[in-house]
Structure 1
Amino acid sequence: MDRSLATGSLRQPLLEVDRASVRLGNTQVFENLSLTVGEGEFVALLGSSGCGKTSLLRTIAGFIQPRSGAIRVRGRDITGEPPDRRGMALVFQTYALWPHMTVAQNIGYGLKLRRLDRTEIAAKVKDITALLGLSGLEERKPAALSGGQRQRVALGRALAVSPDILLLDEPLSNLDARIRLTVRQEISALQRRLGITAIHVTHDREEAMVMADRIVILNAGKIAQIGTPEEVYNQPASAFVAAFMGAENSLRLTCSPAPSGEGLLRVEGTGGAPALIAAAGRPVVSGPCIAHFRAEAAELHAAGGQAAELLANPTRGFLALPGEIGQVSFPGGFWRHVVATPAGPLVVDAPKAWPDGAKVNVHIPETGLFVFPGEHG
């Protein structure tokens, strides 16, 4: 996957959403939202239900008219233009295929509306079916196809009209897990091969990570963070982004600059020992703070002996707190533990299963700890 944007250089802008505001009924979906998408870029709009990602996609497509702001393609204002004049194609979540039409007729439908002659349509449909692995299925109707095949037909119909921008509205959500993995790889490979610009709406974090050049994380109609998959995963800009990107364990702490300086942050308040961790870009402030970490980032150690001594003195480079093993499960490849601690229940993954009721110390290394200033509550 293309990761050229990791260096911070944005490609030639193709699409610009300039301070757009959308209101549906009494609900302000988003306000003064701005976004730029580069030529040939694959951008994922990621967020939970109701965050505004689908409304943003439909605004770009022309199905929702913004109350203010502008939509531009290559500098041309298309805000007031209808969907069929925008040079875009939308692949719907529900496929939206004509049930009475064959595969070839569905793929060629947009070309027919453009009044191309039959020979040209047939040639284009032949190219598209070959590209998508649908050769031999041209005369079948949607009811005779698998879910993955129907999704390929919907994608083929969109690609047949040679759009400047391909819009994907959760196109994989109706597929079962195995087929979803296959189709997302096919879409990603096809986008790179054709060099087409794509904007993909999804609520699936892993889907966005493996398909997109950049991820736009939305929360309550606002952009919480924009960055490459590596950036939003390893450098979350807020507690919300950290939790959304898998760091769901949270701790309410008190933060302060370390008395000795040295670029260290002192954190305490978990019921365990205070910890000195490298500031390394973390805000060094005094007062309440919130820390997030992923289940796989923490380690479990048996309580007692040297581990007990660690809890009696400030730790350096990691945070430690006592706990007791509760629920244990095996989701596959590792054991997942719910650990009762003075700071509340935490989820910790480990390569082996610890017995119920075992006394442990939870160690969270500074590299896996995301600390943000914020009031508790």
Structure 2
Amino acid sequence: MNAPPTARGPERTDGPSVRVGALAPLTRPGWAEAGRHLLAGLELAARDVNESGGIGGRPLELVVRDTAADPQRAAAAVDECARLGVAAVAGEYHSVVARAAATRADALGVPFLCSSAVLDALTDQPTEWVARLPPPQSRGWRVYADFLLGAGHSRIAVAADASVYWASGTRVLREHLAPRGGTVLELDMRALTPTAVCDALADHRATALLLLVGHPEPAVSIVRTVRRDQRLAGIMLGAPAGQPEFAAWATLLGDDGAGVPFLRYLPERLGPLGIRVETALREQLAEAPSFVAFEGYDTITVLADVLRRTHGTDRARTAASWPDVAVDGTRGQIRFTRTPGISVWQWAGPPVHVVDRDPAAPDRFRIRHVG
């Protein structure tokens, strides 16, 4: 079992670096705030690895590439990283983009550890080259559906953009809710204004509206419009994909952004490693770190463990090592298994909570449901 030491001092690293490609959405139209948190976690872990001796005495170097939420750009980045001789590729936040990266990595024979994307079908066919830290969407969104039912919501509406990710999430919700008496009304945001969404909610007598849309727009406009419509005073707003996790949500919406439940992959309480990493990330980001930053840290922690065993030189041996991982991360021990219906190696044990920002103190998060 490997875990970064709690006390570190400068240790010598010599020789050529062991390179790891690091993919993240750092510019628009990507969710740049999420990308910044992901990269902060990746970079902090890389520094910790190097301060504890690197990879067999060689420094770990991140080759950072901005995907900007563009699948083609992500695939091209994997190509470039492969030409540069990386030992593995890591990262990415957007599911559709991670799918393109995973598909390309599989084709090239480059190990890819996905940090933060949940789309079940990360690759079309089972692969030995790809592993993933976050729970698959089918698990997380079923947890969210259970929360909705437990909170008394059975007439659900979703305001959805066009995306494989949003369509997959809607399908998970519908399939889980329907046998339990729940209904899901889809509102196509390519055709509707926020005001038209309010009219549809009132007509349908929905009790919950889920925001399956981009942030900040149209999410912010929808929230503001719904909050001001007296017909919808009792409706619950939700955002399973996690938009309210980030500081920009609270900055843009203030009190209107509180009480919007979302999925969060953090434990109720962090252990000693998580607390140390949280402190360092808070200093690095100059704000509270999101769960995405912890995912980034855990990604490099796992890869460092694998690369130390393979000396960072044999991609095939690295990919073959996924089932041997047993690493203490910031959110629990990480092991990869084969999960039915999932084509990649999957951490089966990440924590899944439904949380929201407390209306009494929007900077504080409340746990509403434990998955």
TM-score normalised per structure 2? 0.30
Select the structure of larger CA radius of gyration. Answer: 1
Q: Tell me: higher relative CO, structure 1 or 2? Use CA pairs within 8 A at least 6 residues apart.
A: 2
Q: TM-score, normalised by structure 1?
A: 0.30
Higher strand share: 1
